[in-house]
Amino acid sequence: MPITKTKTRARPRKTDPRKPAVWNLRLYVAGQTPKSLRAFANLKALCEERMKGRYRIEVIDLMKNPQLARGDQIVAIPTLVRRIPLPLRTIIGDLSDSVRLLVGLDLRKAD
């Protein structure tokens, strides 16, 4: 009996639009202040815990590029903007309240 090879078609993966391949996050800061550094550290820790390898953090220093605040309507700093997945989400502060951060990023339901 001859051995025949069969080709199988790769099935398209069903993806959850709420769980994108890569999360696009922007953190707006004003220089290297303690509050800005704390916000980045808190965000990085959460991302490593919840989305390891599936996130991109872009830090925008408004001291160097103040005109970039207009695009995301930044009125306070530090401010985190979740650009992907949609809808846009904005969280203001040093991101030390992990429950508020999880709810704000839509990684946890509000209690």
Domains of the chain: which residue ranges? 23-104
CATH architecture of 23-104: 3-Layer(aba) Sandwich (3.40)
DSSP annotation of 91:
E
Cβ distance 28 to 81 under 8 Å? yes
Q: pLDDT band at residue 16, thresholds of 50, 70 and 90?
A: low
Residue 4's pLDDT is: 41
pLDDT digits (tens, 9 = 90+) for 50-95: 999 999 999 999 999 999 888 888 989 999 999 999 999 999 999 9
What's the pTM value of the predicted model, to 2 decimals? 0.77
Which pair of structure tokens corresponds to residue 61?
Answer: 């220093």
Q: Which of 91, 93, 80, 18 is nearest to 51 (CA)?
A: 18
Q: pLDDT band at residue 108, thresholds of 50, 70 and 90?
A: confident
Alpha-carbon span 32 to 59, nearest angstrom: 11
